[in-house]
Each structure stands twice: as structure tokens, then as C-alpha cells.
A and B are shown apart, each in its own frame.
Chain A
């Protein structure tokens, strides 16, 4: 075999060898344990921070509201539906019972017409009354524009919550 062919094969062999070594070195450690992916990624995915909590953690402190709610149409609603994510709030309040709650952890208190309209505004797509074998769901639909828009005397716009207790509408 001529010399140049030998050298050429040598160069290619070095490249391929280098590549194979590199492949072993750079392959992440848990790769291929459970399939063609990093097994550790499953664990990493489970570590993401939470923001929403579970309903029980609210009613531990807010017992009065729970009683209110249980007697009304909103019995099935979880607090976070209207008030937003409450994990930090509930953790802080649960752990430091005697301390004042920092402003950043105060939850959103919806009260504007648009807040209620998001579920209750008249819309043909919104379910009317569903009589289902499993469940009966009904959402009141209100024409937000015409349903007592403002105080007839003072002309100040009404908020829904001025007449309806949101926890027991």
C-alpha cells in the first residue's frame, strides 16, 4: 500500500477515534437509563416551583368564608379561581401566624364588573343549564351592560359586589 494511502487512513482513524472518545465524554451521565433522554430530566421537571395551592389550605384560616360559600351557588369554586395563586400567601400565613402579612403576599380582591363578567357575561357559547347524568351545572348569565349599570340617583356605576355577596351571590 502506498504511503499516502496509509497516512490518509491514519488521519481518518484519528478523527473517528477522537469522535468516539468525544461521544463518550460528552454524553450526559443519566442519558439512556430510561430511554433516549436524560433520566435526570424527569426529576428536574418535578422540581419546578409551585404557585397555586389546594383549596383546603385557604379554609384553614378563612373558616367564615367557607361557611358563607358552602351555602351559596359558589360552593364548588376554589378560592384561587377569583383570588389568584395563593401558595406563598398560605405558607407565610400558616408559618408566621402572629406576623403581619407583607403587601406583596396580599391576594387580589376582585370587585370590578369585568371580574364577574368573565364568567357571567351573556354569551351564546356559555352553557345554559346542563342536565347531565353526572352533574348539574348552571351559570347565571347576565347582560352586564343593562343589568343595573349605575345608581339611578347618583349616576355612579354599580359594582356587582355592592348587591351580591361574591361568596354567596
Chain B
């Protein structure tokens, strides 16, 4: 509290031009950058998994289970940055009790629960049920109990039951794809619907969020797959990686085109806010927008992946490229969220000045807290991979 006020005085001394006095404080900080970032990873990872399941791209098989579990573990923490940034975190339940129908944010709880429970949970459950029944018999102690509980103390693994599971799982995935679109398009709408803020208020925002989500999710699964194979000392399936890279390339291109369109439109119509935003982009956002998001996060990956479509170097070299590129893309998308969330608050709604962003290391809204919410999903993922290893499953063909 004292620190917070101290911070604000420091920010006040750095204000350029004029901002409304209440705008000196940046209301949505690093945690709200994380929120669309994490939900984006979820949506993207899920869409990659559904490519295998619905669109029958069999070559992606090695990443199917990993993608689902990654999506699930990130989904479990997706609300946490939101809740921990609330002024009154203990009142968070109200959003489920009395959701306001005209608020874009109110539906979040329901969209979230739908996606977590109906889509992700059910798909994983139906996918793993037979294996859990089998594993329950093979293991002992707590693990045995977990499998028993997760399979709801049922043991029916007759071919008929398994076939039914597969069918329901397929239906869930079919529902899941529009749900993933809804989840992340909706997150974009939260920003895109704020007419007071010209940096956010664009109809393209949900679409841009959706495609950047797919980009980041695919990159994450790619990375997790490579790291996991290294840990398990397994050979990488280069065909699978090449295919993922191909999809990453296409979606990255669409994402880049959409964002480019947004900016070109902004520049061409040059509305009231144009001068203020122009100065913002070339000033406070220069490095995060042009260098991190644009050059390192988008242009370099597009050029590299584009080259790989025509010219395939040795697997050894491709492997290194596939290690580095997802990192660049993940960083680029993080800065894309940063530029939207933080950038949208740096300029005054009076268009006469700029405030600056400062947050402390510690505290509920500090960098450490943000790091915690980025690390916890990986711990959950490690646990899930231990409990439900996709590589120990009985091979099924989702047909």
C-alpha cells in the first residue's frame, strides 16, 4: 500500500503531457497480460490436438495427448492471474452468482467452466478411461486410488464401451473447436468492446486474439514435445514436427496479416486518436512492438518457417530451429499481449499525454507473482504426465 503510493509518485514524475489524474495509475498490470496469454495457450494447444482428432491429420499423433494435457494444465490456472489482481479477491465468486448480462467479462466464468469441464476434462476422460481402468489394476497405493477415483470406480472396458467412449470423445472435440474459438475470441472481445479506448476498440480484436492464441498454443506444444522427448531420451518424430511447423507457419501468416490489416486501417483512417497512438507506438512501445513482437516474434519465425517449406536442411539443424523458433514465437505473443494490455493504458484517453508502467518485483501484482502463475502450469503438466502418460496408452485410432 505504502509502496504502491510511492510507486505512483514516481510515475507521476514521469508523466508526459497531460493525463487525467485517475489515469496515472495503470489499472491492469502484468497479471492481466498473463490472462489472455495463458488462455491463448490453452485454446491454441487444444486446436492443435483437434487437428489430429477431427481433421484426421494422423501425422500429429505423437503430440495429441501432450497437447490435450498442456491445454488442461494451463486452463487450471487461467483464472488465477485474474483473481489475484482483483481488489477484493474473496468476492470473485460473485461473478458466477450474479453475472451481469451486458458485461463482456461476466460470462467469463461460464465460458471458462464450459471449456474446462465439458470440453477439456471430458475429452481427456473419455480418451483415458480404458487406460485408467487398466492402470488401476497394475499400480498400487495412492496411484491406484487416483485411477480408481478418476474412472469413477467403473471397470467396463468391453470393446462396445470403448467404442462408445471414442464416439463421445469425438463429439466433445467437435464441440470443442468452436468452444476454443469462443473462449479466445471472447477474451479479445473483452478488450475490443471498450469504446473508450481506441487502441483496443477494433472489431478485429477477437479474431486477432484467436489467431495469436493458435500461434502461441502450437508453439508451446512443439516446445513441450521436444523437451519431453529429450527428457525421455526418445527419438523426435521429424515428420510430425515438420507438419506442426507448417501449420505454425500458415497461422502465423494469417495472424500477421490480420494485425497488419488492423494497423493499416488505423493509419489510413487516422481518427482523432491517431497522433496520440502514433507517438505511443514509436515511443514507449517501440521495442516491445517493433522489435520483440514484430521482428523477433513474427518476421524472423515467418521467414525461417517459410524457407523450411521450400528447403529442408538436415534433421539435426531443423531440430535446433524447432527448439528456438517456438521460444521466439512464445515471446512474441507475450509481447503482443503486453502491447495490447499495457500499451492500451499508457496513453491518456484525453490524447494529451502518456503515463508510464511500473510494477514492483514482489506483491500480489508483481513480477514474481506473474512468474509463479507461469511456472505452476508446468508443474501441473509434469504431474499429469506422470499420472496419465500418453506414451503408455494403448494405441487407438480415432476413426
* Contact between A and B in the complex (any CB pair below 8 Å): yes
State the A residues within 8 Å of B (CB).
Answer: 2-5, 7-8, 11-12, 15, 19, 22-23, 26-28, 31-32, 36
> Which residues from chain B contact A11 at a C-beta distance below 8 Å?
152
**Interface residues of chain A: helix, strand, loop or mixed (majority):** helix
A2 to B164, CA, bound (A): 9
Q: Chain B: which residue is nearest A31 at the CB level?
A: B98
Which of B97, B153, B154, B168 is in CB contact (< 8 Å) with A23?
B97
> Which residues from chain A contact B101 at a C-beta distance below 8 Å?
36
**Would you give the 0/1 interface string for B146-171, flagging 1 where the beta carbon is closer than 8 Å to chain A?**
00000111101000110010001000
**B14 at the binding interface (Cβ < 8 Å):** no
Please state if A2 and B97 are interface contacts (CB–CB under 8 Å).
Answer: no
Please state if B93 and A26 are interface contacts (CB–CB under 8 Å).
Answer: yes
A88 to B108, CA, bound (A): 47
A125 CB → nearest B CB, Å: 14
> Which residues from chain A contact B153 at a C-beta distance below 8 Å?
7
Please indicate which of the listed interface residues A8, A12, A32 has the most CB atoms of chain B within 10 Å of its own CB.
Answer: A8
Please indicate which of the listed interface residues A4, A11, A15, A22 has the most CB atoms of chain B within 10 Å of its own CB.
Answer: A4
11 example contacts (A-B, Cβ-Cβ < 8 A) are as follows A2-B154, A3-B154, A4-B129, A4-B152, A5-B168, A12-B117, A23-B96, A26-B93, A26-B94, A28-B98, A31-B98
> Which residues from chain B contact A8 at a C-beta distance below 8 Å?
125, 152
Interface residue tally of chain B, by bracket? 10 to 19
Please state if A2 and B93 are interface contacts (CB–CB under 8 Å).
Answer: no
Please state if B161 and A4 are interface contacts (CB–CB under 8 Å).
Answer: yes
A78 to B97, CA, bound (A): 48
Interface residue ranges of B341-365 to A (CB < 8 Å): none
Which of B97, B129, B152, B160 is in CB contact (< 8 Å) with A26?
B97
> Which residues from chain A contact B168 at a C-beta distance below 8 Å?
5
> Which residues from chain A contact B154 at a C-beta distance below 8 Å?
2-4, 7
Known: A2-B161, A36-B100. 8 other contacts (CB 8 A): A2-B154, A2-B156, A2-B160, A2-B164, A4-B152, A4-B156, A5-B168, A32-B98
B94 CB → nearest A CB, Å: 8
> Which residues from chain A contact B156 at a C-beta distance below 8 Å?
2-4
A27 and B152 in contact, given A4-B161, A5-B164, A8-B125 (Cβ under 8 angstroms): no
Q: Chain A: which residue is nearest B122 at the CB level?
A: A8
Q: Chain B: which residue is nearest A27 at the CB level?
A: B97
Please state if A36 and B98 are interface contacts (CB–CB under 8 Å).
Answer: yes
A20 CB → nearest B CB, Å: 11
**Would you give the 0/1 interface string for B113-133, flagging 1 where the beta carbon is closer than 8 Å to chain A?**
000010000000100010000
A22 CB → nearest B CB, Å: 7
A114 CB → nearest B CB, Å: 21
A12 to B100, CA, bound (A): 25
A54 to B97, CA, bound (A): 43
A151 to B96, CA, bound (A): 71
A130 CB → nearest B CB, Å: 26
A119 to B94, CA, bound (A): 47
A145 to B156, CA, bound (A): 94
